[in-house]
Chains A and B, each alone.
Chain A
Amino acid sequence: MGKSTRPHWRSWWSFLPAGAVVGLLTLIPVFLVLYASLTDWTETSGPTLVGITGYEHLLRDSYFVHSTKVTITFAVASSLLSVALGIAVACALHSFGRWRFAMLVLCSMPLLISSATAAMVWRLALNEQTGLIPQLIYRLGGARVGPLADPNGALLSACVVDVWQWTPLVILLVFAALERANAQVIDLAVVDGLGASTRFWRLFVPIISPVISLALLIRFSDALRAFDVAQVLTSGGPGNATEFLSLFAYARLIKFGNYSAAAISAVAMLALASVALLVIRFLLRRRIFERGTL
């Protein structure tokens, strides 16, 4: 009996440092946010517990519903596009011969820029009066309108900026998976005369499928909490066309001093992220992992 319990207690002690760090950095803030979400705490009045009243109010708020829809649209579009583009570029780079690492470094440049700076550069490029892109469209015979003035154009622009900045991360992940794979198998496929399409679906996809799930998880969770890109590029506009949940929560916390509403928005983001990530994992396990055998 004594022999069997000793390792058990030792394992608990070894867990303590990690547990303390997780508790301090994650669990305590989460519980504080949950508590704040159940109060009516504002900058001018202290917290009083009101239960789920705030949640009921927010779920009926058309601005919140709109922000949720925009956030999901952005996250789905941005993560899928960046993963698809990342796979395509990484596969192309992999067949680049000895120059592939130099090309990889070039492709990774956007990752080195902070997202606020990237958004600022794109905002200048998309500026209706002085921006390179609208000027180019205008000179090619298009209308003189900046995309940021239109709700769909602004959302699309935010997606493009996000995809531009984060596709290199997917490229790196996929490229690393391809480099790790057995080079002889890939060479044999070329020697056997397998077409590009067959090689991609039958060879590359099984190799990179675990990385795809990882890339999707990272990209989707990143896109769900995207803030800088909308704050700097569009200020959430025009109107609330690009007011993601992160901006929605920020406005309530910093601009309005409505701490409970900000906490509820943060809880909503957390719930959304958790559900979405569970769905992604479920789908990927069923569809890709089962196919992925070499």
Chain B
Amino acid sequence: MRFLSRVVLALAIVGLSGCDRSGSGKAADQRQVTLNVAFFKSPATDAAIALIPEFEHQSGIKVSFEALPYNELQDKLQTVFLAKTAQYDVVMADCIWIPKFAEAGHLRNIDGYLKDQNLTPTAFKYDDIVTSVGDYLGRYPKNGTTYGFPFMTNTHVLAYREDLFKKYLEPAGFAPPGMTLETAWTWDDYLRASKLLTKDFPDAPGGHMWGSSMQARAGAWLVYEWYDWLYGFGGADFDYATMKARFDSPEVIAAMKAYASMVGTVAPPGVTSWGHEEETQALASGQCAMDATWNVELTEYLVGAGKSPFTKEFRFALSPKRPGGTPTPDMGGYGILLSAYSRHPTEAYRFMVWLTSPEIHQRIVLAGGTPYRYSALRDPEVLQKYPVYKIYGKALELSIYRARVPQWPEIQDVISKELTAVLLKQKSAEDAATAMQTRVTEIVGRP
């Protein structure tokens, strides 16, 4: 009997709690919206998290923020999107994921919201976003749809040290790496300067300095560092009119050979295991003298107080070009996108507009984020703190997009594997180019 009464009591409690959920609880849900957002852990994200209480206070919308390492973010988004669940309202996505997510229908079209002045106030100034960046990190060209806004950018710049330039390169007849299209170094200049700076040097760790740092670890690190060389040598991955692969061109082969020639000669032999962090450490410690890089952590690391004994000596210039050409850096970055499965799309969009608004963007850049608005790139406070952004805006405008196809992650994997085989002298550049051409043609030809 006692047992029976307990069962009845338990059932009653469950029943009452069910009533509560469908009654006053629902009303409470309507009053308080909580957005769930998943971002890549980065200085820009850390800065955004610090500003969230301001948004919550202004809007009355709560934001539950997850800042995840790259692989974890990728795992979570893929799993959540595959299950088509509303776990996240806003996601931060690497540029190479955007075509895949858009094609699979995981993202919500925000073109209607953009035209709605109630949701997109004039002060948002969409035109203030660097046009190419807004297009690359927020839109999908195949269907011409806008899905979000940029949040973090990266492109190539050349980092060098003025003390070393004056001591070793100027006497050898080098002009400083250029800030304009005309005065930018050529790749040949970069290689020759790297050779001159590879020498026994007492200030360098171990008494030996290498001319160039690199990030040649398999994956995005290697591929996008090399892409600056690929474009810089006049090569291209695709004929964009027909989307036919062009990896077997002489320019691509020359770019591979030149890039591979640096490993072990003007750059340390271990660079095939280096990513952003190792590349930056080598530059900051004086182990390496220069770097043609897309490393977003680089600027913060080199200018950050106490992070390098050579902080005052670092200078930035446009990345090298081919003779008679212009620098053609590669564009990367992350966008923030509205999930197609969000239950609060309007509130999520309001959050995205707030986070990428000119004022908040400027504050995020000052706290270590990378700029994508013209206003931030011209902001005196930003330029004083990060002189590299004097050249960064120009580099962004010169940047070339990667192929915006859903199969891009697989294409990147092929380039990474074949290029590494060249760096490790397991394959000739010609054989690697043929393999890239065959595989990429097969990948883009799939239905």
Residues of A near any B CB (own CB < 8 A)? 40, 43-45, 63, 127-130, 138, 143-146, 148-151, 154, 231, 234-240, 251, 253-258
Contacts and interface: CB of A to CB of B under 8 A. Distances in A.
B218 A235 contact: yes
Interface stretch (B114-122, B165-173, B350-358, B415-423): B415-423
Nearest to A129: B281
Interface string B186-217: 00000000000000000001100000000001
Interface residues of B, number: 39
B272 A149 contact: yes
Given A149-B269, A257-B104, A238 B278 contact: no
A149 B407 contact: no
A129 B104 contact: no
A255 B413 contact: yes
A258 B409 CA distance: 11
A117 B129 CA distance: 41
A154 B217 CA distance: 12
Contact of B217 (A130, A235, A240): A235
Nearest to B82: A43
Contacts of A256: 407, 409-410, 413
B442 to A, nearest CB: 9
Contacts of B269: 143, 145, 149
A21 to B, nearest CB: 23
Interface stretch (B70-78, B231-239, B301-309, B332-340): B70-78
B360 to A, nearest CB: 31
Nearest to A250: B75
B75 A254 contact: yes
Contacts of B74: 254-255
Contact of B218 (A44, A138, A238, A253): A238
Contacts of A145: 268-270
B145 to A, nearest CB: 15
A254 B206 contact: no
A145 B273 CA distance: 10
A129 B410 CA distance: 31
A240 B417 contact: yes
Contacts of A150: 272, 424
Interface string B268-303: 111111100010011001010000000000000000
A151 B270 CA distance: 11
B438 to A, nearest CB: 11
Contacts of A257: 78, 100, 104, 406, 409
A255 B443 CA distance: 14
A35 B35 CA distance: 37
Contact of A239 (B75, B206, B274, B417): B417
